[in-house]
Chains A and B, each alone.
Chain A
């Protein structure tokens, strides 16, 4: 596997942000229209450093094949990526994820619920006045913990717990909750992607499962820059 840091010229991403990202990265990693997605990516902050000018947009990507040159790339750094982690190791992780829960509706169709929006709706239906509702950021903090608790064992890590200001909870920072919506070109449908950025400490429980999660990603909307799990030794 490879991990790359790709800096695009902002012109590559000017029209329709999320979808342009998708296309720009697809150009870098796909060798033809038949190719199934075998890469994960995530937009990162550049603050104009390391080969990126102000306004340039940088991505981290984990992929099976190294990136290929395409127009509008300003700089690419590639490293071989073969993480070796041991059970019991403490890691710092960072994750941008699309926090949804799959539910089958009465017709048996699969529906994806944004858990933050869902929690908000539930509170409203329980009679919490609109101006009394917690902010979406606060709701995201609450919802994501339960979401992650259910899944983290499957990803081979155990999020550290700590005494926080709201009592014991995961040693987790929810950095951002964002809601992006766009229309696919050529008459495509409207797509909505909610993302939550997480950062926290965890202990490795199952190195094999963790490696799989690192290569294959976590949660849906991977084509739109979600699900790339990043870890480093803490």
Chain B
């Protein structure tokens, strides 16, 4: 019966008695010590985590954020396309009409009074981001969704999703 070879990289083990040099072990020990001492001086791959963070991949999809526009008004108009696109049905929202005095808070007449993402359902697929016509929702690539011990903590409302208002922005 012939042996079927998948690659030509097979190494045939030779079981011959060791030569005197091999039986002395010292050359092998010294060689091994040479290898370890080389590693002593190599640059370490360690990242000092809390102080130093490894940058996430460009395409990593992490925690959601609801963006504001250049004037600080919320972009979301509660059109519901994100909720529709969501395969996990994690997004729920309630729309409301803007009052005239709230003009600086919301960009258009309609806005999301309640916007909730259930992080226990969310699969971080990013389809909400793709579906949004107003560029309001994004999945940040530098933030993970937080861990918690309570189920209630995983329902992220607007208080935790909307980008904080930055005064420095004009």
Q: Do A and B come from one complex?
A: no
Residues of B in contact with A (beta carbons under 8 Å apart): none
Residues of A in contact with B (beta carbons under 8 Å apart): none
